[in-house]
């Protein structure tokens, strides 16, 4: 055995046989079916390290993940492994201490969209794409769609034409599912079928407009990447560059993404995909569980390795989760098992209403916290972003820190979008969306004038000076001059980025106060944006990041959070994918919320909601609570079909409920504190802080 292989063995020690097989697999395409909590991340990280240690150049590895954070974490772990490998060698006196071992930092890692952006910048010319394109996020795309929709006179119809969001959904679906409009309308958007001709016209105009503006939307990023791979030279070049391609969360890729992978690795050479069909939850984004289920069919010499040993949850939780998912119709059969002790059975807790639910959850959280489980190690999960509203209010009232994932993001708030629009317009004067966003903020300018000014600007090839030829109504003259000065200054690019943001902020602040309620908080956000800007070298990169990898919550923006800052996590189930906590609370587990009423129209829809519920349950390591309000007062619930008397989710029929303890908040003893799992660390308790509040 060579020295290197001895060291490699040392690193593989911590893995179980299936994981090891997955890490060291060499021949042909590989599918790793990794159940929840089966050490998927560890396996992938080891595989990356193993490939590099085996001599694969890091820059020849492509790692596709669902979020930027996932990629960063994986590469960080791979790096630690490589370092250990290197140190191990040095200890044995055989390593060459003068040369640092290879690092994983040069691995191409990120989301499909981020990687597509990078590649298109580099090679896009081959398919006639100008490399300085900008990227529209979802809202920008909708806005552009709306512009075109209005231009074509579709907004003013006797019968209601689909809204911009719906139009975008249909368009996106067609691109990502590689589906024709007619078929898409027939199968997924029946209510819009009468508008077939108009939609076709709309989409063609939308595509033209994007081209004229030199912008790509999310769908284009994938579509153009796909196209790039179809180009003879460029495609071959990229294929040669990526000897090894690893795809995480394969169950949540769509058909277009699968085709990209296919073009990247014909016959599956060097391909590893990892996923869990039981956790496929993104079909609304045209993801299809077929990709993973039919992987062995598309790649006939594929090896399938299943990871079933769960390192996360207690047996009691696993049993309950297994029972829930066993209601699914089609899947790779796997039964998760664990060495962990039986543990407390998960609870189903009936609550009076939303507020009672919030109070129960908070009391439990505090109790766990007292027995040594920090807030950080607990999370509340829910189907829809607004489900946490009552809880958020109560947490704020009690001064308990929390951090919410999912729902509206920082960069999606109107004022942040406004500020970024100034920068984007400077970056790309053809950016109609940004122009139409900014200009009507000024007094005396409405949508029509904004369009005219943008047309002028494009005619003048982006020279903002043409705007001086227009004389606005006299009360707006001063502001107008300031705007043109500002835009010229920004466009010249002579200032560092953070001063550019500062300039915009100074100009924009009074407009903000004139246009929005509660300006204080918004102004503070803008200050934060200026701090963020100072971390970027160039404007283009910042704008790209904001479109493709936006910070998932305001906390992420404030730089590194303070180390001992303890906060509770609130998250949509979708955003909780891949994460885990000691104690998990799944709230609003009523029929109509889980499954969401929006999804119950079709069998597949319901099936996906079941998987979603499964994902939520399998986030828990030791304690799991599913809470069910038995009454809703608020108006949203009545829209959800039930007249104030919601039922327990259909995913917990009696046979499954046997794996749960049933509780009712009205009958709950106060002293049912959970048993501590660990010795108690800090004695500083939130409960005491809370009591001081009264």
Q: Which residues in this chain contact DNA in the complex, by CB under 7 A?
A: 66-67, 111-114, 137-138, 155-156, 160, 163-165, 172, 218, 281-282, 284-285, 383-386, 405-407, 409, 440, 443-450, 548-550, 552, 572, 574-575, 596, 598-599, 634-636, 639
Q: Cβ contacts of residue 163 below 8 Å, gap of 6+? A: none
Nearer to DNA, 41 or 243 (CB): 41
d(CA 588, CA 689): 28
Is residue 522 within 8 Å of 383, Cβ to Cβ? no
Which residues lie closer than 8 Å to 601 by C-beta, 6 or more apart? none
In the complex, least distance from residue 615 CB atom to DNA, rounded to whole angstroms: 11
Cα-Cα-Cα-Cα dihedral sign, residues 307, 312, 317, 321: negative
> Which whole-number Å values give the CA distances from 105 to 102, 119, 140, 187, 530, in the listed order?
9, 17, 32, 44, 28
Q: Which is nearer to DNA, 114 or 265 (CB)?
A: 114
Q: Are 112 and 250 in contact (CB under 8 A)?
A: no
Least separation in angstroms between residue 67's CB and DNA is 6
Minimum gap (Å) between residue 443 Cβ and DNA: 4
User: Cβ closer to DNA: 18 or 111?
Assistant: 111
Beta carbon nearer to DNA, 28 or 444 = 444
Q: For residues 624 and 581, what is the distance between their CA atoms, to the nearest angstrom?
A: 10
Backbone angles phi, psi at 142, to 5 degrees: -60, -40
Q: How far apart are CA 25 and CA 489, in angstroms?
A: 56
Task: Give the separation between CA 33 and CA 275, rounded to whole angstroms.
Answer: 5
Choose between 383 and 619: whose C-beta lies nearer to DNA. Answer: 383
Q: Shortest gap between Cβ of 548 and DNA (angstroms)?
A: 6
Least Cα distance to 608 among 574, 578, 584, 576 occurs for 574
Name the minimum Å distance from CB 495 to DNA. Answer: 29
Residues 6+ apart with CB under 8 A from 350: 627, 628, 630, 662, 663, 664, 665
Minimum CB distance to DNA, residue 14 (Å): 31
CA distance 330 to 294: 12
Residue 664 backbone dihedrals phi, psi, to 5 degrees: -140, 130
User: How far apart are CB 597 and DNA at their closest, in Å?
Assistant: 9
- Least separation, in Å, of the C-beta of 520 and DNA? 17
Nearer to DNA, 38 or 575 (CB): 575
Whether the Cβ atoms of residue 588 and residue 382 lie closer than 8 Å to each other: yes
Q: Which of residues 138 and 290 has its CB atom nearest to DNA in the complex?
A: 138
Given the complex with DNA, which of 635 and 672 has the nearer CB atom? 635
Give 119 or 490: the residue with its C-beta nearer to DNA.
Answer: 119
Identity of the residue, 210 or 383, whose beta carbon is nearer to DNA in the bound complex = 383
Paired with 572 in beta bridges are: 382
Residues 6+ apart with CB under 8 A from 552: 67, 69, 405, 406, 409, 575
CB of 209 to DNA, least distance (A): 18
- The minimum distance between CB 500 and DNA, in angstroms, equals 25
- CA terminus-to-terminus distance, the chain: 69
């Amino acid at each position: 055995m060579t020295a290197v292989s001895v060291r490699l063995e040392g690193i593989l020690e911590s893995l179980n046989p299936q994981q090891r097989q997955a890490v060291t697999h060499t021949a042909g395409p590989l599918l790793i079916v990794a159940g929840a909590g089966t050490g998927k991340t560890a396996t992938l990280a080891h595989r990356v390290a193993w490939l590099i240690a085996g001599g694969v150049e890091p820059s020849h590895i492509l790692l596709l993940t669902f979020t930027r954070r996932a990629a960063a974490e994986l590469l960080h772990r791979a790096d630690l492994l490589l370092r250990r490998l290197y140190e191990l060698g040095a200890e044995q006196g055989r390593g060459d201490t003068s040369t640092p071992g290879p690092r994983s930092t040069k691995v191409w890692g990120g989301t499909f969209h981020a990687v597509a952006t990078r590649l298109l910048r580099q090679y896009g010319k081959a398919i006639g794409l100008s490399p300085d394109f900008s990227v529209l996020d979802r809202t920008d795309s909708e806005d552009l769609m709306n512009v075109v929709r209005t231009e074509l006179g579709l907004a003013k119809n006797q019968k209601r034409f689909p809204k911009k969001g719906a139009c975008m959904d249909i368009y996106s679906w067609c691109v990502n599912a590689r589906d024709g409009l007619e078929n898409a309308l027939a199968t997924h958007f029946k209510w819009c079928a009468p508008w077939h001709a108009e939609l076709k016209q709309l989409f063609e105009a939308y595509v033209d407009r994007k081209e004229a503006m030199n912008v790509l939307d999310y769908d284009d990023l994938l579509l153009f990447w796909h196209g790039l791979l179809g180009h003879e030279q460029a495609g071959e070049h990229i294929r040669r560059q990526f000897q090894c391609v690893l795809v995480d969360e394969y169950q949540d890729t769509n058909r277009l993404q699968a085709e990209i992978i296919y073009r990247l690795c014909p016959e599956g050479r060097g391909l590893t995909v990892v996923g869990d069909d039981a956790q496929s939850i993104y079909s609304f984004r045209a993801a299809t569980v077929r990709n993973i289920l039919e992987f062995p069919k598309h790649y006939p010499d594929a090896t399938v390795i299943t990871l079933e040993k769960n390192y996360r949850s207690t047996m009691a939780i696993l049993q309950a989760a297994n029972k829930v998912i066993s209601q699914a119709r089609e899947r790779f059969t796997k039964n998760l098992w664990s060495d962990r002790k039986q543990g407390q059975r998960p609870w189903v807790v009936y609550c009076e209403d939303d507020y009672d639910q919030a109070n129960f959850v908070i009391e439990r959280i505090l109790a766990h916290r007292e027995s040594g489980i920090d807030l950080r190690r607990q999370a509340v999960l829910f189907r829809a972003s607004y489900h946490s509203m009552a809880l958020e209010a109560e947490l704020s009232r009690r001064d308990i820190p929390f951090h919410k994932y999912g729902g509206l993001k920082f960069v999606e708030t109107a004022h942040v979008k406004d500020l970024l629009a100034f920068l984007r317009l400077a970056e790309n004067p053809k950016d109609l969306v940004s122009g139409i966003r900014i200009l009507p903020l000024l007094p005396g300018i409405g949508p029509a004038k904004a369009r005219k000014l943008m047309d002028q600007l494009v005619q003048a090839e982006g020279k903002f000076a043409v705007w001086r030829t227009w004389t606005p109504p006299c009360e707006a003259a001063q502001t107008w001059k300031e705007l043109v000065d500002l835009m010229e200054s920004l466009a010249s690019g002579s200032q560092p980025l953070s001063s550019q943001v500062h300039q915009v902020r100074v100009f924009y602040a009074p407009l903000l106060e004139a246009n929005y309620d509660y300006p204080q908080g918004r102004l503070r956000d803008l200050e934060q944006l200026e701090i963020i800007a100072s971390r970027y070298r160039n404007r283009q990169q910042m704008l790209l990041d904001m479109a493709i990898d936006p910070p998932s919550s305001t906390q992420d923006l404030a730089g590194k959070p303070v180390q001992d800052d303890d906060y509770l996590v609130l998250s949509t189930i979708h955003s909780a994918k891949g994460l885990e906590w000691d104690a998990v609370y799944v709230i609003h587990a009523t029929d109509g919320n889980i499954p969401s009423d929006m999804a119950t129209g079709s069998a597949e829809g319901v099936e996906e909601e079941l998987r979603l519920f499964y994902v939520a349950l399998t986030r828990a390591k030791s304690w799991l609570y599913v809470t069910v309000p038995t009454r809703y007062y608020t108006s949203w619930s009545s829209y959800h079909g039930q007249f104030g008397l919601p039922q327990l989710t259909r995913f917990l029929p009696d046979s499954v409920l046997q794996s749960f303890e049933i509780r009712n908040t009205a009958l709950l003893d106060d002293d049912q504190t959970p048993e501590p799992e660990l010795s108690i660390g800090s004695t500083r308790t939130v409960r005491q802080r809370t009591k001081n509040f009264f």
